[in-house]
Amino acid sequence: MLRPLVLLLLEVNLVTAFRDNQALAQQKSTFCPMHCCRPKCSGQSYSLTGNWTFQDCKVRKGAKDLHGYGRTCFEDCTVVHSGEPQNATVMRRSGGGSSPQCELYHRDLPLQELAMDFVEQLEISALKLTRGNYGDLPLMKADKVESFLEKVKEKVLKPEFDQQGYSQEIKSKNVVIIGDLHGQLFNLIGYLLFIKSKLNDKGLSMLDGSSLLFCDPSMQYVFMGDYVDRGERGVELLLLLLAYKARCPEGMALLQGNHETAEMWFPYGFAAELKWKFDEKVRLGDIEDVVELLPYVAVAPENWMAMHGGLSPALERVCSGKGGRFSECLTKDVGYTTVWADPHDGYGWKPSQRGPQFSTFGMDVARAFLESNNLKGIFRGHEQVEKGWVRKKDQDGYFVATVFSAADYVGLFCKKDGRLPGWDKGMFSTPGDGNLGGIVVVDLAEGSHAFQRLQASKTREIAAKFTKAQCEMGFSLLESQSESPPKVTLESFIEDKHKSIKRLGDGNHGNLDSCSLDKDETEALKEKTRQILANAENREFEARKLIDLQGEALIHGENLEICKAMKKDKAMLEVYHELDGTDEKILEFDIEIREHELEEVLE
């Protein structure tokens, strides 16, 4: 028994000695198979908004855990920038050369430098990724995005929220108001370039590192929510706006809309987009933690207020007579009721088609609320309007203006090249809605509101020229074409959706066709629909909007409410037929698409 034990100990010692000799030989060798054996960043500098010098670098132990960067080494260095030296992780790109490319690892990179990286890449490069290879941007790495989101939340949004709550004050002389963008990065770039040219003679300073954004004490941008969903580049658009906010916090008012919540991201596409682009490595909760800190209202004292939806009974109850100081009265629950609100043409409060718990408000309600807060008007988004903006004004100048900036709503940057975003080919298989996009340029000193309308073809052209992005497969982005959806495409899309629609209501959700509307309810709905469509300039557009508004009620509804909503759709369709709508199949398509989105909610 003693001899086998001696042999075993001898074998262990030999193996240990072999490994020690092998490690020593590798250290002495000039060749390192993993390219990360020796530190190379000592004495190197990294310049972004200043010079960063790396000293006393050592190869990071456990660097293999920092995955996702290909042939990249990680070193622990002493970093000298300003003030006391600090310890930080440095990334070194492999690939040879006498001067290695060394830069701070994003988790140790100050927010300002990290945000500048996002600004520079997203402004110029994001639209060039036109074949679905969205992850080719260096910054589109899950851990880098999560690090950025955490820094923006902790260093910008939380301190701002602690100071002002859910209301941000507008103090600058020059203000630009932008409504819903819904993931259309080309529209954002087009608008910012248009604004730059419009205000070029004002002597405003540009944001350092940006070719698009003014960052000046006399300039503020107000974005009224709905940054994602139903768009091709919601991720990139939201990240760019947050990067602007990080770099120029006083100059950016990013408001919450009803699509700044995971409740909407699942049925309307952002959840699928995020999963597709980051392979489930960026969590919805991380983004929701950021956007829930955004304000609901921006206020220019003694002038106007901006919000996503509009007034609600809860807001009227707690915030009337506050002199525009809504930080004193706004809570999350009250703010939530405002993002679903809409104005109507009558008086008082009325039920909303968006759901039984929401209301619409008349001009009399708006005026009373504005007067009590020493304001003259409301800018809001939320509601798609065919010509980009619409304003209702009373005889004394009190107004409610709707601004919808998603020109060619649901449209892609490259309209005709046959590529469809992989996370929802159904949603993007037809052209966009062909509507114009609206923005407002305000001069508070002069008291002027310049409402602007832009076609999506124009914003595409502007964005393409700036970024040098091109569409593939031989189709020209700038080709003159109708903004209206071609009927044959819609009909083909309907056929593709029939199979999934037939599954609607299967499972444990009950029979969604088992309800009925009483006669009075049906006739009241038909009469209301008839009045709206009969007076509409574009009957088809208004009919589709009615269907879409009714569809959002399904997000909040139980089976009975969902069933009744579908019955109401059919009643609206009957009225549309009575009035000789331009194409009943397009309206039927809208209903079926909405039912497909509902299917995802139910499952």
- Cβ atoms 196, 466 nearer than 8 A: no
Helix 584-602 crosses helix 559-578 at what angle (to 10 degrees)?
A: 170
CA atoms within 13 A on the CB side of 25: 7
Instruction: Quote the CA–CA distance of 352 and 435 in Å, as a whole number.
Output: 23
Instruction: Quote the CA–CA distance of 105 and 111 in Å, as a whole number.
Output: 12
Sheet of strand 51-59, all strands in order from the earlier edge strand to the far edge: 45-47, 51-59, 72-80, 86-93, 101-104
Tell me which H or E stretch contains 389: strand 387-393
pLDDT of 176 > 90? The answer is yes
- Cβ atoms 520, 513 nearer than 8 A: no
Instruction: Quote the CA–CA distance of 319 and 310 in Å, as a whole number.
Output: 13
Q: Quick one: pLDDT at residue 71? A: 64
pLDDT of 388 > 80? The answer is yes
pLDDT of 482 > 80? The answer is no
Which tokens sit at 33? 């198979």
DSSP calls for 122-145: HHHHGGG--SS-GGGSTT--HHHH
Average pLDDT over residues 565-582: 72
| pLDDT tens per residue, range 426-479 | 777 667 778 999 999 999 999 999 999 999 999 999 999 999 988 764 334 444
Q: Quick one: pLDDT at residue 355? A: 79
Least confident window among 151-165, 370-384, 478-492: 478-492
More confident residue, 27 or 11: 11
pLDDT band with cut points at 50, 70 and 90 for residue 52: confident
Q: Quick one: pLDDT at residue 254? A: 98
User: CA–CA distance from 327 to each of 31, 257, 271, 584, 603 (Å)?
Assistant: 63, 17, 31, 47, 38
Instruction: Quote the CA–CA distance of 356 and 34 in Å, as a whole number.
Output: 62
Q: Would strands 355-361 and 387-393 be described as parallel, antiparallel, or unpaired?
A: unpaired
Average pLDDT over residues 470-496: 42
pLDDT of 559 > 70? The answer is no
Q: Quick one: pLDDT at residue 72? A: 75
pLDDT of 50 > 60? The answer is no
| pLDDT tens per residue, range 32-43 | 545 677 888 888
pLDDT band with cut points at 50, 70 and 90 for residue 100: confident
C-alpha dihedral (512, 266, 264, 385), degrees to nearest 10: -90
Instruction: Quote the CA–CA distance of 297 and 305 in Å, as a whole number.
Output: 7
User: CA–CA distance from 205 to each of 171, 443, 501, 559 (Å)?
Assistant: 17, 17, 53, 54
pLDDT of 10 > 70? The answer is no
In percent, how much of the chain has pLDDT > 70? 73
Q: Quick one: pLDDT at residue 73? A: 82
C-alpha dihedral (263, 265, 268, 273), degrees to nearest 10: -160
Whole-number CA gyration radius for the chain? 28
Which of left, alpha, beta for 32 (phi over 0: left; psi -120 to 50: alpha)? beta
pLDDT band with cut points at 50, 70 and 90 for residue 14: low
pLDDT band with cut points at 50, 70 and 90 for residue 506: very low
Least confident window among 435-439, 537-541, 547-551: 547-551
pLDDT band with cut points at 50, 70 and 90 for residue 174: very high
Least confident window among 118-127, 134-143, 252-261: 134-143
Which tokens sit at 406? 């998603």
pLDDT of 500 > 50? The answer is no
Q: Quick one: pLDDT at residue 601? A: 41
Residue closest to 188 by CA, chosen among 254, 263, 143, 282: 254
pLDDT of 602 > 60? The answer is no
Which tokens sit at 34? 């993993």
Least confident window among 194-198, 322-326, 428-432: 428-432
| pLDDT tens per residue, range 84-97 | 677 778 878 755 55
Least confident window among 205-219, 427-441, 487-501, 534-548: 487-501
Q: Quick one: pLDDT at residue 511? A: 53
Helix 284-291 crosses helix 234-247 at what angle (to 10 degrees)?
A: 40
Tell me which H or E stretch contains 350: strand 349-352
pLDDT band with cut points at 50, 70 and 90 for residue 217: very high
Q: Quick one: pLDDT at residue 509? A: 44
Enzyme catalytic residues: 259
- Cβ atoms 309, 382 nearer than 8 A: yes
Average pLDDT over residues 241-252: 97
Least confident window among 162-171, 224-233, 440-449, 482-491: 482-491
pLDDT of 352 > 80? The answer is yes
Q: Quick one: pLDDT at residue 504? A: 35
pLDDT band with cut points at 50, 70 and 90 for residue 3: low
pLDDT of 578 > 60? The answer is yes
More confident residue, 190 or 510: 190
Q: Quick one: pLDDT at residue 53? A: 84
Instruction: Quote the CA–CA distance of 544 and 385 in Å, as a whole number.
Output: 11
pLDDT of 326 > 50? The answer is yes
Least confident window among 129-138, 354-363, 367-376: 129-138
CA atoms within 13 A on the CB side of 311: 28
Least confident window among 168-177, 295-304, 485-494, 575-584: 485-494
Instruction: Quote the CA–CA distance of 560 and 516 in Å, as a whole number.
Output: 9
- Partnered with residue 387 across adjacent β-strands are 436
Tell me the whole-structure pTM to 2 decimals. Answer: 0.79
- Partnered with residue 85 across adjacent β-strands are none
Average pLDDT over residues 223-231: 96
pLDDT band with cut points at 50, 70 and 90 for residue 76: confident
- Cβ atoms 413, 128 nearer than 8 A: no
pLDDT of 409 > 50? The answer is yes
First to last CA, the chain: 66
Q: Quick one: pLDDT at residue 507? A: 40
Q: Quick one: pLDDT at residue 186? A: 96
